[in-house]
Amino acid sequence: MEVTKGDNGILNGTKTRFPNEFARHKTLDLIGDLTLVGHPIKGHILAARSGHRANIELAKKIKAYWEKQRIKMKYQETRTDGFLLDINAIKKIMSHRYPFLLVDRIIDLIPGVRVTGVKNVTVNEPFFQGHFPERPVMPGVLLIEAMAQVGGILMLDADTETEGKLIFFMGIDKAKFRKPVGPGDQVRFELEIIKRRNTLYRMAGKGFVSGDLVVEAELTAMIVEENQGGGTPDAG
């Protein structure tokens, strides 16, 4: 069938049923695309010449924000300004305790995409007694451990029940230590997922002190049941 442009500007001169039929079509497209969020939206949405690609990107951003808020409502009891989860919320998620809980706060999280968390380093850290008494330096292996614990939060979603779950770290690659970390430093860890297959995750992480890169690595980890035997020893 030959397709031509009609006198009314429409292919084959097809007549519209409504004067604003094209606007109605775009509105229906937008409504359909936003159902991908999976939750009702209470809001006023304005769109100018939008298409499916833009609509779907908007849906992804709304869904990511909603998932973040669900996690916050699930674990965070008190109000927070400028960050997502405090230490009490983190302790509900993670099984680590003193002296091996090495993340103090989660600043931001997009589940399954990226996370930002911090470790406040104080002179009272037990490892400084031997590393080194006269020149306190946080061991590189513990910087990687702290990064791994922040990465464990990244593997979380609002529907995951953390009770009875452990995160086993299976690989550490491309680890580099750029600058020493000592008492008084706050290490800001930023990680993003670069690959995922079922419960297996691969993440790229970096740690910064006052904007300077101090550590970086790629980590591979898996979520397992706490009573699951065997496997790779937990590095996180």
Q: In the Cβ-directed half-sphere of 114, how many Cα atoms lie within 13 Å?
A: 10
Measure the CA–CA gap between 225 and 52, rounded to whole angstroms.
40
Tokens read off for 39:
């939750």
- C-alpha of 99 from chain center: 25
Burial zone of 135 (CB within 10 Å; 0-12 exposed, 13-18 middle, 19+ buried): exposed
Separation of first and last alpha carbons in the chain = 64
Distance of CA 194 to the CA centre of its chain: 11
Q: Which residue has the tokens 């400084």?
A: 128
Task: Please work out, in degrees rounded to the nearest 5, the angle formed at the alpha carbon of residue 106 by the alpha carbons of 97 and 179.
Answer: 85
Catalytic residue numbers?
Answer: 52, 131
Torsion of CA 7, 10, 13, 16, to 10 degrees: -120
